[in-house]
Amino acid sequence: MVILTHQEAYIQLASPIHRWLPQQKLIGLFALMFAFAAVRQLALLVPMLAVTAVLYGLSQLPISFLGQRLRYPGMFILAVVLVLPLASGETVLWQWGWLAVRQEGLQTMGLVLGRFLSILTLGFILLGTTPFLSLIKAMRSLGLPAILTDMTLLSYRYLYEIADTLAIMQQAMQLRGFGQTRQRRLRLDRRVLQQLASLIGTLLIRSYERSERVYKAMRLRGYGRPQEPVKTVRAGQKRLPDKVGWALTGATLSLAVGFVVAEVALSRL
């Protein structure tokens, strides 16, 4: 399954982005992502890609990490935007019979691809340099409701085990002959639909029954009872974010504001 890749393979690196406090990193990178989403001016395309490249360089993540993750969503976005130079705009740059490449469509395609590449890369920097648990804790400290936090953590905890269960069930189905008979006609086989519904139904039932055992174990460990305040951190021991983290937060927030201001100013020219 696609989700079973080594997501946290580069978590142990010690780059400035890795040492950046998760809360600050979340705020800084999200602000930059939304600022990039606001970019409509072609003049901002190169600065946007340059900022992304600098941040990716600072993260010390290998290019192969990005390449692997961009492949699948990249194919999707290409399928959406490749038609734009052929359909959108009036200034014809190149024509062959009825086929014409237009300047305005080409510019829109460049903008969409640039924004997509930059925002997605920032997302992968966030995930590639922050352990998933730290990310969720940071989101909780920034106001994510407790139910959403608990659900996210529990879902993530059992995601891979449930994926393994499904893989075993699918293998068992194939060994019993599922998918062996080939049809050539374009039609939906009712029996296949029932078999796949039973497969997902059984997966849901197994997960549901497992959740009852998980809940009992969680209750025994005190889940759902009112928590007493934890007094383990003394004022003198409180970990302060380092200067690099503050500098990165300041820089990303300033850049985000700068991109929005530049976008507004350029659109009025």
Using CB under 8 A as the binding rule, whether residue 205 contacts another protein is answered as: yes
Using CB under 8 A as the binding rule, whether residue 37 contacts another protein is answered as: yes
CA dist list (Å): 266 to 91, 109, 113, 229 = 22, 19, 20, 52
Token duo for residue 61:
């993540």
Using CB under 8 A as the binding rule, whether residue 215 contacts another protein is answered as: yes
Q: Which stretch binds another protein (CB under 8 A): 57-65, 78-86, 92-100, 232-240?
A: 78-86
Using CB under 8 A as the binding rule, whether residue 43 contacts another protein is answered as: no
Using CB under 8 A as the binding rule, whether residue 156 contacts another protein is answered as: yes
Using CB under 8 A as the binding rule, whether residue 6 contacts another protein is answered as: no
Among positions 241-260, residues that touch another protein (CB under 8 A) are: none
Cβ-based nearer residue to another protein, 27 or 154: 154
Which amino acid belongs to residue 57? G
Using CB under 8 A as the binding rule, whether residue 125 contacts another protein is answered as: no
For residue 223, the minimal CB distance to another protein (Å) is 7
What is the size of the binding site for another protein (CB under 8 A)?
89
**Sole binder of another protein in the list 33, 125, 248, 255 (CB under 8 A):** 33
**Sole binder of another protein in the list 41, 47, 58, 104 (CB under 8 A):** 104
Residue 95 pairs in a beta bridge with: 100
Cβ neighbors of 103 (< 8 A, separation 6 or more) are 89, 91, 92, 93
**Sole binder of another protein in the list 186, 230, 233, 240 (CB under 8 A):** 186
Q: Which stretch binds another protein (CB under 8 A): 9-17, 79-87, 236-244, 245-253?
A: 79-87
Using CB under 8 A as the binding rule, whether residue 159 contacts another protein is answered as: yes
Among positions 80-99, residues that touch another protein (CB under 8 A) are: 80-81, 84, 87-90
Q: What is the 3-state secondary structure (H, E, C) of the chain?
A: CCCCCCCCCCCCCCCHHHHCCHHHHHHHHHHHHHHHHCCCCHHHHHHHHHHHHHHHHHHCCCHHHHHHHHHHHHHHHHHHHCCHHHHCCCCEEEEECCEEEEHHHHHHHHHHHHHHHHHHHHHHHHHHHCCHHHHHHHHHHCCCCHHHHHHHHHHHHHHHHHHHHHHHHHHHHHHCCCCCCCCCCCCCCHHHHHHHHHHHHHHHHHHHHHHHHHHHHHHHCCCCCCCCCCCCCCHHHCCCCCHHHHHHHHHHHHHHHHHHHHHHHHHHC
Cβ-based nearer residue to another protein, 244 or 260: 260
Using CB under 8 A as the binding rule, whether residue 193 contacts another protein is answered as: yes
For residue 144, the minimal CB distance to another protein (Å) is 10
Among positions 126-155, residues that touch another protein (CB under 8 A) are: 126-127, 145, 147-148, 150-155
For residue 38, the minimal CB distance to another protein (Å) is 4
